[in-house]
């Protein structure tokens, strides 16, 4: 049984560009959450998707948006990239409100 997968593994962008990160949840899971982990910090909650809708949102600007597809996979989009968006982006999946399982993350570097 494959766990949570994320792509790409690493990404380098320049300021002002847009980026899309992808996540496939663990089999049987219907909820996907996204977190941003800056270097040396704990993960910060960005938002959560359930039934193709954003259910909760953390304290992140509208430049951060997402989508969930009918197969429960999800995308995180970030527009107008800033240097401060450089971080490890973690996807976690769960069955409704239960235990979250994390993927390996996508390392985004903004130059």
**Site residues (CB under 8 A) for another protein?**
4, 31, 33, 35, 40-45, 48, 55-56, 58, 90, 92, 94, 96-97, 99-105
State the nearest-atom distance from the C-beta of 46 to another protein, in Å: 10
State the nearest-atom distance from the C-beta of 47 to another protein, in Å: 9
| Whole-Å CA distances, 106 to 43, 51, 55, 70, 95 | 13, 24, 22, 22, 22
Q: How many residues does the chain have?
A: 111
Query: Which token pair is 33?
Result: 């959450």
- For 74, residues 6+ apart whose C-beta sits below 8 A from its C-beta are 22, 23, 25, 32, 34, 49, 66, 67, 68, 91
* Nearer to another protein (CB atom), residue 65 or residue 102: 102
State the nearest-atom distance from the C-beta of 55 to another protein, in Å: 7
* Nearer to another protein (CB atom), residue 38 or residue 80: 38
State the nearest-atom distance from the C-beta of 82 to another protein, in Å: 22
* Nearer to another protein (CB atom), residue 2 or residue 14: 2
- The upper half-sphere exposure of residue 10, i.e. CA atoms within 13 Å in the direction of its Cβ, equals 2
């Amino acid at each position: 049984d494959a766990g949570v997968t994320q792509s790409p593994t690493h990404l380098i962008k320049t300021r002002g560009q847009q980026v899309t990160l992808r996540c496939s949840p663990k089999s049987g899971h219907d909820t996907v959450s996204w977190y941003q982990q800056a270097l040396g910090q704990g993960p910060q909650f960005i938002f959560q998707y359930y039934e193709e809708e954003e259910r909760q949102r953390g304290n992140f600007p509208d430049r951060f948006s997402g989508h969930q597809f009918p197969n429960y996979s999800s995308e995180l989009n970030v527009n107008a990239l800033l240097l401060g968006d450089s971080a490890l982006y973690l996807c976690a999946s769960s069955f409704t409100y239960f235990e979250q399982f994390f993927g390996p993350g996508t390392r985004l570097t903004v130059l």
